[in-house]
A and B are shown apart, each in its own frame.
Chain A
Amino acid sequence: MKLTGAEILCESLMRLGVREIFGYPGGAILPVYDALGKSKLHHVLVRHEQGATHMADGYARASGGIGVAMATSGPGATNMVTGIATAMLDSSPVVCITGQVSSKVLGTDAFQEIDITGITMPITKHNVVVSKAEDIARTMREAFLIAASGRPGPVLVDITKDAQQASAEFHWEACEPKLPPKRVRKNHDQAELDRAVEMLNTAKRPIILAGHGIMVSGAMRAFEQFVRAGNYPVAMTLLGIGCFPANDPLNLGMMGMHGEAWVNNAIQEADLLIAVGMRFDDRVTGDLRTYAKNARKIHVEIDRAEINKNVKVDAALVGDAREVLEQLTPHIATRDHSAWIGHITELKGDSAVRDIQSLPDSGHLYAAHVINDLWKETRGEAIIVTDVGQHQMWEAQYYHHNRPRTLITSGGLGTMGFALPAAIGAKFAKPNSEVWVVVGDGGFQMTMSELATIVQEKINIKIAIINNGYLGMVRQWQEFFYDKRYVATPLVAPDFAALANAFGIRGERITKRAEVVPTIRSARESAESVLIDFRVEQEDSVYPMVAAGSSLSDMIRRPNNPLVETATEP
């Protein structure tokens, strides 16, 4: 069957199981759009190509599948860079397709020509230029294989316009992926495994550090069996949240910079760290010189390059988390850690009672109230897509996720503007799930143009803006470390409710704690998207906090009376 390159691309995407493409048309990708119009693929028109990549990313994270974004050459492609980097840092399988000028004029600075494979080389798992129609099907199969295999990541396929227009024979079966023959490395030897088992069975104060890799590997069951076999307390990375139920007594919650102090102290006192699918990010470890000094370390990790990168480990089990955990679990002989768990409970003390959430309603509205109410109202079952900053940390602290892939957030790159488009992608992946955007007033203004995409696609997403009139996390750092010199952090915003109305979306503004629950309820009852502008305390901070580069043991604690410490109502 003879097809044009553009038709081959659409046909290939269909066969690879793609239903939605998030994209933006332009000259160099027009032949593909013409073919898209005739295909069964659903194209979601975004308002900025960055949005397309975040949507594909959100789609991938919510579904566990691969998200697809599309853009034209030049500025269309360069607008994707932030989204590609976001996917790279969080190991998210995204395939980006860009149009490119015709191969005849490649390298001549033709209109809207840019070397996008050169630009994205360090932020993609792989990228490739296709300049022949007959190479498109095989390349797409390879791109999907690379994006999802091993440690996943974004792949960019740059297709010249003449390749889209030319005709070629299309034989799907004949277009087997032809990736270079890689050396098969033995992941770890028996001695390494034995060493890990010995550590597991002799540890008195073990703690698991659970990361995103558990979700990526689909290892939730194997992980739970492992946890139960050894009765290990579990601390989570930000992206690990959801891999183990928050309501399980062994789940301590998030660790690191904004983890609870008693969780971090438990890590500092542990004699064994069992790191699974995480990479000892600086936000998790704090100062490496003082990090878990008394602990031996086991690292279960699929990416060899992560072994001993930040933290030197005593046993490295390189491989898929599920496979490694299944290997380990049968050998666990020691499971009585009640003294240690009792000690952690002591460390925890009355921190829950001191928590801002337990304070009586004094007329002040705190972000913690909003997020905690949202958790209660949705019974922890919604997909929450957060942006980056204070609200992101509050969400991680006050919304308790019991299921995997229900918290979608930009961890490694920390990309503001991620939440709204990523939530659109998540909604397409899980159309029957309730999807909430939790976003700050700063990040929301970066990509709020995607409200139009929501309206055009007639999808139902609830948006909670945690609006404190500041770039809150930066303001917090200025408060703590720059003597309250609030340079460039006070932020003027439009009337978000009126803005939503202008887009054709219902908008609400909430200033009192008593209004939170009724408004969330009414929003949930609506079959359409609703935006709620929560005007929260302006100078509240995320506690506790490990200052960047400080020891994990050295946390800034919440002031005794936050109502005195913080400013008056906005």
Chain B
Amino acid sequence: MQTLVAYVENKPGVLNRVSSLARRLAINIDSLTVGPTENEEIARMTIVAHTDERGAHRLEASLEKLVDVLLAENISTRALLERDLALIKVSADQQNRPHLMELIKVFRARVVDVAPESLIIEVSGTVDKIDGLLEVLRPFGVLEMARTGRISMTRGGDLLQPPAASPESPVSVEAESK
């Protein structure tokens, strides 16, 4: 599994270009999350792909060839912080509810909705942690689940920022060289 971060233009069709590229390279995407950055014109993607290092290089280099992709970087081998968020609706009756609450506490999850026959649990953390919680919830009856997919960030001073638009040269440097 390889993790890439990409900064892209925040406009319609870009997600399609990115996912279509992965399809063309026959790379299966495990998760792809996209959201705005502090600059509203730029969105940040975390792409988790089923491929090896060579496939990730090709995906990274091919992504950067797209006009709307400002930067793509394979961060798989770097020190990473990764987070996934899940909402899990699990069936809960009077009898098993206390047991359920115990488990939720252990996993540092939260109950965000309570109904007579079910609970919605919110949990965030690594993929493994959420998978672990899911495992123990399954016997109670998981009715519904929504997961965001992974977002990743390199730790500490290892910065991965979008390239700044320079007012003097609105044209990409690569394009200008010809």
Cβ-neighbour of B17 out of A121, A151, A320 (below 8 A): A121
B-chain residues with CB within 8 Å of residue A304 when the two chains form the complex: 61, 64
> Does B170 touch A at the CB level, under 8 Å?
yes
Cβ-neighbour of B24 out of A122, A182, A303 (below 8 A): A122
* Closest beta carbon of chain B to A215's beta carbon, Å: 14
Known A149-B175, A150-B178, A182-B163; contact A176-B70, beta-carbon cutoff 8 A: no
Cβ-neighbour of B163 out of A122, A149, A184 (below 8 A): A184
Known A307-B61, A308-B54; contact A182-B174, beta-carbon cutoff 8 A: yes
Tell me, in angstroms, the Cα distance from A125 to B67 when the chains sit together. 8
B-chain residues with CB within 8 Å of residue A151 when the two chains form the complex: 65
A-chain residues with CB within 8 Å of residue B17 when the two chains form the complex: 121
Cβ-neighbour of A181 out of B54, B65, B166, B177 (below 8 A): B166
Tell me, in angstroms, the Cα distance from A309 to B65 when the chains sit together. 15
B-chain residues with CB within 8 Å of residue A178 when the two chains form the complex: 170
Q: Is the CB of B64 within 8 A of A182?
A: yes
The A-contacting residues of B in range 1-48, CB under 8 angstroms, are: 9, 13, 16-17, 20-21, 24
A-chain residues with CB within 8 Å of residue B16 when the two chains form the complex: 118, 121
B-chain residues with CB within 8 Å of residue A145 when the two chains form the complex: 171, 175
Tell me, in angstroms, the Cα distance from A452 to B13 when the chains sit together. 40
A-chain residues with CB within 8 Å of residue B178 when the two chains form the complex: 148-150
Q: Is the CB of A305 within 8 A of B70?
A: no
Closest to A218 in B: B178
Cβ-neighbour of A320 out of B66, B162, B172, B177 (below 8 A): B177
Tell me, in angstroms, the Cα distance from A149 to B178 when the chains sit together. 6
Tell me, in angstroms, the Cα distance from A416 to B37 when the chains sit together. 47
Known A121-B20, A304-B61, A308-B57; contact A180-B174, beta-carbon cutoff 8 A: no
Q: Which of A178, A181, A185 has the most CB of B within 10 A?
A: A181
Give how many B residues have a beta carbon under 8 Å from the other chain's beta carbons.
34
> Does A321 touch B at the CB level, under 8 Å?
no
Q: Which of B9, B163, B170, B178 has the most CB of A within 10 A?
A: B178
* Closest beta carbon of chain A to B63's beta carbon, Å: 9
> Does A412 touch B at the CB level, under 8 Å?
no
Known A148-B178, A149-B174, A150-B174; contact A181-B20, beta-carbon cutoff 8 A: no
Q: Is the CB of A122 within 8 A of B20?
A: yes
Q: Is the CB of A179 within 8 A of B171?
A: yes
Q: Which of A146, A183, A308 has the most CB of B within 10 A?
A: A183
Q: Is the CB of B170 within 8 A of A179?
A: yes
Tell me, in angstroms, the Cα distance from A182 to B66 when the chains sit together. 10
Closest to A117 in B: B13
A-chain residues with CB within 8 Å of residue B176 when the two chains form the complex: 149
A-chain residues with CB within 8 Å of residue B54 when the two chains form the complex: 308
> Does A126 touch B at the CB level, under 8 Å?
yes
> Does A26 touch B at the CB level, under 8 Å?
no
> Does A230 touch B at the CB level, under 8 Å?
no
Closest to B16 in A: A121
Q: Is the CB of A179 within 8 A of B61?
A: no
Q: Is the CB of A184 within 8 A of B173?
A: yes
> Does A411 touch B at the CB level, under 8 Å?
no
Can you offer 26 A-B residue contacts whose CB atoms are under 8 A?
A: A118-B16, A122-B21, A122-B24, A125-B67, A126-B66, A126-B67, A148-B178, A149-B177, A149-B178, A150-B174, A151-B65, A176-B170, A176-B171, A179-B170, A180-B9, A181-B163, A182-B70, A182-B163, A182-B172, A182-B173, A184-B163, A303-B61, A305-B61, A307-B57, A309-B58, A320-B177
Please provide the 4 A-B residue pairs with the shortest distance between their CB atoms, ordered closest to farther. Answer: A305-B61, A304-B61, A149-B175, A183-B71
